[in-house]
A and B are shown apart, each in its own frame.
Chain A
Amino acid sequence: MTSPSSIRSSLESVLGPEAVRDDPETVAAHAVDGVPPRAVAFPGSTNAVAEAVRLCQRKRLAVIPWGSGSKMAAGFPPERFDLALSTARLQRIVDMDTANLTVTAEAGVRFKTVQAALSGEENRCYLPLEDPVTPSQEEICPERENRGCFIPMSPPHSRTATLGGIVAANSSGPTRLLHGLPRDLVLGVRYVTPAGEVVGMGGKTVKNVSGYDVTKLMIGSQGSLGVVCEITLRLLPLPERTGTELFAFDRREAACRFVDRVFESPLLPSAVELLNHRACALLGPEELDRPAGGTWGVALALEGVEEAVTRMRETFGKMGEARRARVRLQLEGEAHARFWERYGHLEETMEEAWPNLITIHPVYPISEYSGMAARVDALDAVCVLRAGSGTGRIHLLPPGADPEGPEKLLPVVERILEACVRTGGGLTVERAAPAWKARLPLWGPEPDALALMRRIKDQMDPDRLFSPGRFVGGI
């Protein structure tokens, strides 16, 4: 057994003293399911990460990569945990190539930070400066109107989430309806393997079939196959116009029928979110849940050219009217941005208010959303269902100070799981108190290909040093 101080000193010798901490406060802040690491490393570069991992490999230390910590509550408690490998100092935006519609940044960069940088005015050059084909770019496109780019993602924990965390969890939000999942948007990764080797997969091109698509394997691997250090993402030009349509219905069935109509139309909203009354109350504006209780809301995000957004507003408005929507709110500009900001922050809001809540990420074929809505209707939960995407979030609230409270939630989770499995889906538990985890189906039903997944883990991390025991099937 290596003592904490010897871990620190060995790490210090490769990373420098400023990059390693083992003070109680830091260690406690990086605990996973209540298990604190023996030290936390803050390498400042991909190569430094590799150095640290090689050291862990030599000393057989168990490593868990750590971004902002927003999604660390998912998964089984670690079997072993020696070192938290923080990406907090991997903060460079390496390459912002808006002309090519790609951005490359280090894993520790917050999503919010890149997004803000991309929307700025300063990245208007679209020809590679080192290889000017036409003498002056001004000649090429003097009256360029485009205002900037964005990463077409809307992840949960949007204020804190890092790119590395989003990739490791394949974490997605409402606009996945139009833009897809991280697996559709990540073009390449550079990561450090459990052996401490820096490898690069994918690149700056949308199409790439050179060799195996190992990038896909890393996306959603939850830190069990290495540390993702650098990520290249696909961008889109900022849309000409954006907006939100909010509706509230007295009855769940009416809300669902409205959503059905939306999908039957040729229109292309970027998000269609079905909210139970508690979610309405939390997300506001206030009118959405007035009178309180019993209502179901539908939030539609719109983006595109002026004419398309206008038509969507008109058409959806009429559809809502036909289904007797009690409330219709149109958000634009700041109000629109603030609403989706709150949306992206919903998880934190919940976690702050109810530290013991259980957050479920249900998975089901997309047409089953109305059945899912019926199932959660009676639950004391904050629930958003991602219509058209076959997922959502169900936050089960622990019943007050009742000491038996948690017990009562466990069968609820089982029932939701059963419902999802019946449709051919499953669920993952994204958050639950460590004490309950042993009794919860954290990753849903066992995947058919679990044996093959284990073989991949055995090949890539034979000593089981990365996030040991935390992933599907205890991988």
Chain B
Amino acid sequence: MDRKPWIEQIEEIVGPDHILTSDMDRILYGYDASLAKGKADAVVLPGDTDEVSRVMALAHRERIPVIARGSGTNLSGGTVPARGGVVIHLSRMNRILEIDLPNRTATVEPGVITLDLQNRLLRDGFVYAPDPASQKVSTLGGNLGENSGGPHCLKYGVTTNHVLGAEVVLSDGTVMWTGGKTHDSAGYDLTGLLVGSEGTLGVVTCMILRILRAPEAVKTMLAVYDSIEDAGNTVSAVIAEGIVPATLEMMDRVVMQAVEASVQAGYPLDAAAVLIIELDGMVDGMERQAQKIQAICRRHHVREIRTARDDAERAKLWAGRKGAFGAITRLKPSYMVGDGTVPRTRLPGVLKRVLETGEKYGLLIGNVFHAGDGNLHPLILFDERVEGELERVKAASSEILKICAEAGGTISGEHGIGLEKLEEMHFVFSEGDLAVMRQVKKAFDPKGLLNPGKVVP
């Protein structure tokens, strides 16, 4: 590759050790956890906001696309350099700058691993509520970019509900703060816009997060069902009964089998579905709530209910859920994961149609979902090396998203649009809606250099 002059200029900014331009590195920063692929022109590993700003100002002058990323665990092609450009890997900016317990905030750089913050906070009896399944790997900057969810979002909300402020570098290198340590800031909610914008509006280089006191008590139950409808109806019934648990997670047989082969979480292999139901909060009345839930489960023909007796058992029940996506490639080498979300009451009906779609296309689909949120994650299994399979999978996946949209839901609950769901944006948004999003993009990034080709078709 002929070295472009701007590469040397970047080298001057970040130092020769922190720019990668080999063919190998350009390929290695061309993927994420989705099926999309691209190739970067160069990869930069900046050490601070100033370096990010100077690299972006340079890219702006040279009209080079900029793609910011963390651990690259996202599931929609959001960090794939679709049109080449400079990939900014924020892994070196991984300091927890401040834990401010009296004000209930944590100030962090974007490269901090989600679980690292979590473990640090737990020492003081606090938590950062969003808990994406990938929290062990994912970065907080990536969580912000994708507006990540997780099982506990049923009760605590998603990432956007926990980000108070952000330092953002705009496409021309300008650095500014949105929001801060306070909960209400005058002016437009730019922080709210940045969260979930998949790096298309700016590069966040510092963030102020809201932290909460760790719940006093936690109770985790596993409910085993012989019919997936019964499990789905239990979810509706629990909510209707006036109980909002911390989590209401569901897994079907296909997923359980893959998971058991991987982590031996103790899921029964012959069951049709399991629910992981977790209550948290004050200890008072929790036992009664749990009994109420168990009664509802029994009304819906539950086969068996297990309650975790200690942290170890609880961790075991969760280990399977958290590794569900990864484990699925024990069955087939590739998978495409859907992220459609529907009003929770529509879940059983939609699920039936998802399975029918799998049959129609002759594809095996495993299901794992945040049932309480109506957020489905159908995992379509295949082998991308087999000619024609990917096309079939994409068609089936799109059809499933259509089903979700028609049920009054949406095409992505927490994984984002990225590259993979651009076409499906038309299922839920009119041209007028999309025009407004393009205005937002134009206000932030008039030259269209930040993560181009993503989010808005």
- Direct touching of A and B (C-beta under 8 Å): yes
Does A349 make an interface contact (CB < 8 A)?
no
- Are A217 and B240 interface neighbours, CB within 8 A? no
Does B185 make an interface contact (CB < 8 A)?
yes
- Are B193 and A213 interface neighbours, CB within 8 A? yes
- Are A204 and B409 interface neighbours, CB within 8 A? yes
- Are B428 and A210 interface neighbours, CB within 8 A? yes
Contacts of A412 in B (CB 8 A): none
Q: In the complex where A367-B102, A455-B443 touch, is A208 in contact with B412 (Cβ < 8 A)? A: yes
Q: In the complex where A126-B237, A447-B185 touch, is A184 in contact with B157 (Cβ < 8 A)? A: yes
Mark the stretch among B269-277, B304-312, B356-364, B367-375 that contacts chain A. B367-375
- Are A134 and B233 interface neighbours, CB within 8 A? yes
CA separation between A430 and B229, bound complex, in Å?
51
Task: Please provide the chain B residues from 8 to 43 with a CB less than 8 Å away from any CB of chain A in the complex.
Answer: none
Closest B residue to A310 by beta carbon equals B284
- Are B345 and A100 interface neighbours, CB within 8 A? yes
Mark the stretch among B86-94, B114-122, B172-180, B383-391 that contacts chain A. B172-180
Q: In the complex where A128-B346, A363-B185 touch, is A240 in contact with B242 (Cβ < 8 A)? A: yes
CA separation between A304 and B428, bound complex, in Å?
37
Task: Please provide the chain A residues from 438 to 474 with a CB less than 8 Å away from any CB of chain B in the complex.
Answer: 443-444, 447-453, 455-456, 458-460, 471-473
- Are B440 and A146 interface neighbours, CB within 8 A? no
- Mask: chain B, 313-347; 1 = CB below 8 Å from A; 0 = not: 00000000000000000000000000001111110
**Majority secondary structure of chain A interface residues (helix, strand, loop or mixed):** loop
- Are A102 and B343 interface neighbours, CB within 8 A? yes
**Min CB–CB distance A180 → chain B (angstroms):** 6
CA separation between A102 and B373, bound complex, in Å?
12
Contacts of A208 in B (CB 8 A): 341, 410, 412-413
- Are B413 and A305 interface neighbours, CB within 8 A? no
**Min CB–CB distance A304 → chain B (angstroms):** 7
- Mask: chain B, 173-196; 1 = CB below 8 Å from A; 0 = not: 000111011111111111011011
- Are B374 and A205 interface neighbours, CB within 8 A? yes
Task: Please provide the chain A residues from 95 to 144 with a CB less than 8 Å away from any CB of chain B in the complex.
Answer: 97-102, 124, 126-128, 131, 133-134, 140-141, 144
Task: Please provide the chain B residues from 189 to 241 with a CB less than 8 Å away from any CB of chain A in the complex.
Answer: 189-190, 192-193, 195-197, 201, 213, 215-216, 229, 232-233, 236-237, 239-241
Contacts of B440 in A (CB 8 A): 212, 214, 217, 456, 459
Does A199 make an interface contact (CB < 8 A)?
yes
Closest A residue to B416 by beta carbon equals A209
- Are B436 and A131 interface neighbours, CB within 8 A? no
Q: In the complex where A209-B146, A219-B192, A308-B282 touch, is A444 in contact with B186 (Cβ < 8 A)? A: yes
- Are B411 and A210 interface neighbours, CB within 8 A? yes
Contacts of A450 in B (CB 8 A): 187
CA separation between A311 and B232, bound complex, in Å?
34
- Are A205 and B410 interface neighbours, CB within 8 A? yes
CA separation between A162 and B52, bound complex, in Å?
44
**Min CB–CB distance A186 → chain B (angstroms):** 11
Q: In the complex where A100-B344, A126-B239, A145-B241 touch, is A365 in contact with B182 (Cβ < 8 A)? A: yes
- Are A133 and B413 interface neighbours, CB within 8 A? no
**Min CB–CB distance B267 → chain A (angstroms):** 24
Number of interface residues of A (CB under 8 A): 93
CA separation between A147 and B343, bound complex, in Å?
21
Contacts of B236 in A (CB 8 A): 99, 126-127, 140
- Are B345 and A213 interface neighbours, CB within 8 A? no
Contacts of A306 in B (CB 8 A): 285
Does B425 make an interface contact (CB < 8 A)?
yes
Interface centre among A100, A133, A212, A214, by most chain B C-beta atoms within 10 angstroms, is: A212
- Are A456 and B341 interface neighbours, CB within 8 A? no
Q: In the complex where A141-B240, A212-B437, A450-B187 touch, is A207 in contact with B182 (Cβ < 8 A)? A: no
Contacts of A206 in B (CB 8 A): 153-154, 157-158, 373-374
Does B433 make an interface contact (CB < 8 A)?
yes
Contacts of A308 in B (CB 8 A): 281-282, 284-285
- Are B408 and A216 interface neighbours, CB within 8 A? no
Contact of B103 among A101, A170, A205, A367 (CB under 8 A): A367
- Are B183 and A305 interface neighbours, CB within 8 A? no
Contacts of A131 in B (CB 8 A): 346, 349
- Mask: chain A, 205-231; 1 = CB below 8 Å from B; 0 = not: 111111111101101110000000000
**Min CB–CB distance A417 → chain B (angstroms):** 12
Does A379 make an interface contact (CB < 8 A)?
no
- Are A216 and B437 interface neighbours, CB within 8 A? no
Does A200 make an interface contact (CB < 8 A)?
yes
Mark the stretch among A35-43, A291-299, A326-334, A420-428 that contacts chain B. A420-428
- Are B285 and A424 interface neighbours, CB within 8 A? no
Contacts of A219 in B (CB 8 A): 189, 192
CA separation between A221 and B189, bound complex, in Å?
8
Contacts of A128 in B (CB 8 A): 343, 345-346, 349
- Are B161 and A184 interface neighbours, CB within 8 A? yes
Q: In the complex where A133-B349, A197-B432, A268-B281 touch, is A237 in contact with B243 (Cβ < 8 A)? A: yes
- Are B182 and A363 interface neighbours, CB within 8 A? yes
CA separation between A153 and B169, bound complex, in Å?
34
Task: Please provide the chain B residues from 119 to 137 with a CB less than 8 Å away from any CB of chain A in the complex.
Answer: none
- Mask: chain B, 137-160; 1 = CB below 8 Å from A; 0 = not: 000000000110100011001101
CA separation between A150 and B187, bound complex, in Å?
29
CA separation between A447 and B100, bound complex, in Å?
23
Task: Please provide the chain A residues from 348 to 396 with a CB less than 8 Å away from any CB of chain B in the complex.
Answer: 361, 363-367, 389-391
Task: Please provide the chain B residues from 93 to 115 with a CB less than 8 Å away from any CB of chain A in the complex.
Answer: 100, 102-105
- Are A221 and B188 interface neighbours, CB within 8 A? yes
- Mask: chain B, 376-394; 1 = CB below 8 Å from A; 0 = not: 0000000000000000000
**Min CB–CB distance B154 → chain A (angstroms):** 7
CA separation between A452 and B441, bound complex, in Å?
11
Interface centre among A208, A363, A458, by most chain B C-beta atoms within 10 angstroms, is: A208
**Min CB–CB distance B155 → chain A (angstroms):** 10
Contact of A211 among B189, B299, B437 (CB under 8 A): B437
- Are B197 and A424 interface neighbours, CB within 8 A? no
**Min CB–CB distance B35 → chain A (angstroms):** 19
Interface centre among A183, A207, A449, A473, by most chain B C-beta atoms within 10 angstroms, is: A207
Closest B residue to A172 by beta carbon equals B184
CA separation between A140 and B373, bound complex, in Å?
20
Does A404 make an interface contact (CB < 8 A)?
no
Which 4 A-B pairs have CB atoms at the shortest separation, nearest pair first? A216-B192, A237-B242, A146-B242, A305-B285
Can you identify 10 A-B contacts, CB atoms within 8 angstroms? A180-B161, A207-B149, A209-B158, A212-B193, A213-B147, A308-B282, A310-B284, A390-B103, A456-B439, A460-B436
For the complex with contacts A209-B196, A361-B184, A366-B183, 17 further pairs of A-B residues with Cβ separation under 8 Å are: A99-B239, A101-B239, A126-B239, A193-B432, A200-B430, A201-B433, A204-B408, A207-B341, A212-B193, A212-B441, A212-B455, A213-B192, A213-B196, A308-B281, A389-B183, A425-B182, A447-B185
